[in-house]
């Protein structure tokens, strides 16, 4: 008899199966996950104080990014320091009576196609810049080693640096000027008279 009562207190054998989560709880978890992902996306990386502080909105941070023109000019400055600075100097002043200045030059601030053509093929004097004649220097065809976007960048830098009030230029201007150079049949360095003969606009 006692043996029968002891059997009644023993736990039953475990059974296999799956427990289903109530549908209501599942829906709540899905909604919470969605809201969490939305807030993270909305805040962007605003959790990283070292990136955004003291700003609280992604738009504020985005407004600090340099513009396309600023990036173009910055790239042009790097190219200038490698390809042009030896002759035209860091301040764009040129060198004595041989190398004309780029700072304050009417050639630099004039028709950008003319500057592209000069950079492409080089120039041999004489040339009048800012009321002064420069005749002994020879400009090498540095532009031939540059891609269209590199040439656009360095010319944009020169046209906007050292107080020059020219505008930046794009690759389309470079390509159009290069096409005109090719059509002119110019093989060596330009002279002022050959630039004029090829139809490029010269400063008056």
List, in sequence order, the alpha helices (H) in the chain.
2-8, 23-43, 49-52, 58-62, 68-83, 85-88, 106-109, 112-121, 148-160, 171-184, 192-197
Give per-residue pLDDT as tens, 168-195.
Answer: 999 999 999 999 999 999 989 999 999 9
Instruction: For residue 150, give both structure tokens.
Output: 């590199």
pLDDT reading at 46 higher than 60: no
What local confidence, expressed as pLDDT, does residue 66 receive? 82
Q: Which CATH fold topology does 68-197 show?
A: Cytochrome Bc1 Complex; Chain D, domain 2 (1.10.760)
Give per-residue pLDDT as tens, 76-105.
Answer: 999 999 999 999 999 999 987 788 999 999
Contacts 24+ apart (CB under 8 A), 66-71: 69/156, 69/168
Instruction: For residue 16, give both structure tokens.
Output: 């296999």
pTM value is 0.70
pLDDT reading at 5 higher than 90: no
Kindly list the domain boundaries of the chain, sorted by start residue: 21-64, 68-197
CA–CA dist 110, 9 (Å, integer): 103
Q: From the CB of residue 89, how many other CB atoms can be counted at a distance below 10 Å? A: 15
């Amino acid at each position: 008899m006692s043996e029968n009562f002891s059997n009644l207190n023993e736990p039953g054998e475990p059974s296999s199966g799956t427990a289903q989560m109530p549908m209501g709880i599942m829906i709540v978890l899905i909604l919470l996950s969605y809201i969490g992902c939305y807030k993270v996306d909305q805040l962007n990386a605003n959790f990283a104080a070292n990136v955004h502080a003291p700003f609280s909105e992604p738009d504020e941070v985005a407004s600090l990014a340099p513009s396309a023109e600023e990036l173009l000019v910055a790239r042009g400055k790097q190219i200038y320091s490698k390809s042009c600075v030896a002759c035209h100097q860091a301040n764009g002043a040129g060198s004595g009576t041989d190398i004309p200045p780029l700072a304050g030059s009417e050639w630099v601030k004039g028709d950008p196609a003319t500057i592209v053509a000069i950079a492409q093929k080089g120039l041999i004097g004489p040339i009048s810049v800012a009321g002064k004649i420069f005749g002994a220097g020879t400009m090498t065809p540095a532009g031939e080693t540059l891609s269209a976007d590199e040439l656009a960048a360095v010319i944009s830098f020169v046209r906007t640096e050292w107080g020059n009030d020219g505008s930046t230029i794009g690759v389309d201007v470079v390509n159009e000027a290069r096409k005109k150079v090719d059509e002119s049949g110019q093989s060596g360095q330009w002279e002022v008279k050959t630039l004029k003969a090829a139809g490029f606009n010269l400063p008056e």
